[in-house]
Structure 1
Amino acid sequence: MKKNLTINEIAKIANVSRGTVDRVVNKRGYVAEDKQRQIEKIIKENNFTPNTHARNLALSKSLKVAVILPEHTAGEYWEPIVKSTETAGKNYLPFGLKISYYFYNQNNVETFKAIEKKVFLEKYSAIISSQPQNPSIKSFLRKCTTKKIPFVLLGTNSTKYGALSNLGQDATQGGRLAGKLINYGQEFPAKYLIFNIYNEQNINPNVVSRIEGFKAYFKENKKIKTDLINLSINDEHLSAKIAEKLKSLTKNDGIFIPNSRAHIVAKLLPKEIKVRFLAFDLVNKNLQYLKEGVIDFLINQKPYEQGYRGVELLYRYLATFQEPQEVINIPAEVITIENLTFNEEINFTDKEKSST
């Protein structure tokens, strides 16, 4: 009698993802016809039977997941994460997974304290959140660890917070990639202005690492200078300080923004000044300046993919006891006006279909 294969083993034989096999086994979601036939053949030949214990658990027990994110408006970085977790939640709802959302004011610690109290009171099975940027969230995550509540962090590949899994890009390598892109084909000598527009209450460690990676890329080339300009988002003279720095730019120079605030600088750049301009994140305001040719490159962190995969791996952990990787690296995607897509949700879905 043949051994009853696991879903992982079937995925390896068929050269597809585990999620693709899961969709065939549970008869949900899209799978290309040729791949579906191939997987069904493997299942039949090997007398595969699903893990009925895990399935019964999912169907009989409500798996409650809390998604905790900063407050935001349409078109900002967090919106794709909300959309993707909603989509994943609908897909897994028939299997007992329920998702609730909590949004906190990044500038008001008290709003997060209220959320923390409610989340613990509701006894969630697991939590999805973003990389902590202030002491309140870090304290909350430590309490989750103590209470043995598993959590997934998006936007980071650091393991220091004790998350079940961390989904994000290597920030230092992201900075090095930015350095290579901004300098590609440039004449020498050149100067690159790094505008770090930060929020004092929410210091993003990814931004710090990107700046380090960017500067490290140019460290051995003495002809190229990097000028780090740290400015508070709450500085009442912010625009004037940026405008003054922009006056020093020449055609061989460039601008690097290590977070999603490129639009703040882009709107102050005089039209007669054309320099290499690179930043992060496909927020609506950044995309507008990319379309207008002011910004040359945007590095996409793929927040939609992070959110969907976060829900997917939590379901597998809670319902089928599958341990996820501690770090899941999300490859960087470089966006230019030539390959710009306006719907990241469709873009990610299409990629999933092509991999099945």
Structure 2
Amino acid sequence: MKAAARERRVLKVGIVGCGKIADSHASQIKRIEGCEIVGVCDREPLMAQQLYERFPIRAYYRDVTELLAQAQPDLVHITTPPDSHYDIARTCLEWGCHVYVEKPFTVHASEAEALIGLAERKGLKITAGHDDQFRPATRRMRKLVQAGFLGEGPVHMESYYGYEISRSGYAGALLGDKQYWVRKLPGKLLHNIISHGIARIAEFLTTDSPEVMAYGFTSPQLRSMGESEIIDELRVIIAEEQRTTAYFTFSSQMRPSLHQFRVYGTKNGLVLDQDQETLVKLRGAKFKSYAETFVPPLIMADQYLKSLFTNLKIFAARDFHMKSGMKYLIEAFYRSIVDGAPDPIPHQEIVRTARIMDAIFAQLELKHLDGNARYSDPRATAE
């Protein structure tokens, strides 16, 4: 936080949900000056106690309202399963707390709209945990786009999100337990993962509800394991009328397993590789004659070499950890609270991501569940 922020009172932070991701939040909050974790909460007291013991935290609680009443946090990080995000976030907002909600922001777009509307009416800050949007190379990409490198805005985008499935860890629990909480989400496995890849596209769209065409299926690998409900191969076309198009690919089978984003403008293009933490500029104009054969490889080699030194520099500064994007997003969110800085993620971008996901899961349900199954939003009338 800025020096000016340190002169103010300490920002009091609470965490609701003490599973694995809560450790990442606590670790990054601990890195930030000018704030303190005053309480954590989980309906399973042992989980809350363990997080409390691992980090310098004042107290732990079992009930959200108990946390809010006794710890009196200024803001709350919600790291519970997605189906509880709406109710917990609404409670925190009604108590006057700013809210950071892990991805996916909500289960349904109508819930996202309701939460954002409530926050705006109360003059509170709210954001989504799209921390991949704030990794070092992604921030460099955003600056280039804002500076006009692409020309006249994105013409086309491609977002790839690979996911390797095995019998161990999170995927193993999902495959082995037919009652696992992820299976109860409209999009099941996809619902808990793809928001990162969709948010990359949503950032550069201007239409609130673009056209979406989705196709998904269960891979032969999962079918060989006896799985028929989980969709792990997804292809999506997203389009704004007469403006921007995008492809989104989620795959557990494609190799290499990419976490990549490509964006093409009227002048130039960019390729972001999250795994390699590289950003490559694609020159729009071609060189004359044989120069097009020799010069571009040299330019690409030079860019990758510069990326190497940039990454080494960030590593030496101890800011090249897996959750560096989360740290940056949390800091930016806290600045928006303390200093009145702009929201790190515009509200319309959060809603747009949720609407695209709604459209994807609606189409998948119509195509892949039994003929009588229909997608429904129980909070369609939420205020």
Please state which band the TM-score falls in when normalised by the shorter chain.
Answer: 0.3 to 0.5
User: Which has more radius of gyration?
Assistant: 1
TM-score, with length taken from structure 1: 0.40
